[in-house]
Chain A
């Protein structure tokens, strides 16, 4: 009993802060999301889900197949589908390869730059990276004679979303690399030595010994990346503002549009709740895993 009292005493400042700055705004947002001109109801949710305007639609899949816009929610899922596996795999393989070379700390530091620069700046860098006149990517394609990609990617609906996703791989791979590098460094050297004695090649050691041994780190990267992809905003805001023609919009940007441009706080709150519910899925998986591991 005395221990519980002590625990409560020491936890109380944190609990009070959480109650004021986390719980209260969540309850407030939840409340606002149900308030409409006609009283309390689901109108805001219905309006957000059924919105058809290309810059605010969540799902827009008529006349498929065609280039974006496909709706903000779909764009988020496309982001996850491309960004998540590439970032995770790149981080893992780079971490493994760097273990075998000198100067890996320098390379890791360079890779980590993407993580430390503000995402708004990251968005601007992406915009310039894919600019026809000064960007390296269109110039590279121009040099290779692929003229259809020698253009400002962020200005065209068929390439805008892809340019943001590819750019974000550069920004986020440092995270995957750091987590995986820490996990690989902590592996007992004997595992790898034993595999070498058995005649395993570098590649076999990687996918039969290293990759399975760092599963926990990979799961952390997967869950954190999924969360990052779902709540992505800054990059899109700085690089394309969701355009052209709504082809690169994402959920968080839709929420911002309702909030800061339409001044429609009910719909902004409803979008925020939808976004929160979606992020709860990977967050719950992660928490369960952590609890299971510590039990």
Chain B
């Protein structure tokens, strides 16, 4: 394993994010968006080959499908997981770990992709709707990818509409089971966080080279905890970079972070 001399911050984040799926076993690894999808693919190609994955449509594949234009029939299905089986077979039985990019995240790990501002009846900004977030968050493992760490994403109070379940005790319903709520990593352009703090509080576990804890705190709307020892996020190896390049032949990863910064901050 050799450390490559040149890499982008996005490539470093992809490698860090791929760690979310390490040792997950046979479940569907879903990365929504170019970087999370490359991270899931990298995890399957390198450290956790037993992961399952779809072609983004209806088939399960053993070789992750590259991003972007290619021959329609290039994919080689190994199995079948159409939308009509996805909730039955992957989401509700808990056989999935998704990495998503919410518009808002609060201190409890509750997220919002429904709307911003205003009210449920008249939102100021309508977004996607809750999509599968309520079911995903109460049934299976979830991680998050945040390309621009800011107080607009990591909000001070609760998110505007709780689309996904977090660890908020006030949202627990007596007699109901929240045992499967399992939030793992939050990978941002500044750091890697987990939910290993007091009562699942969000905790900084890695800082990207050149970033300080105070900088992360400054960009976050709530108090963060710090791991006992905060590591520096590792640089990608040449092998990892080669796999990422093969899976992203059109370099869509260059569009994920504003101005596609280098991994080494100056």
Q: Do A and B come from one complex?
A: no
Seen from chain B, the residues whose Cβ lies within 8 Å of a Cβ on chain A are none
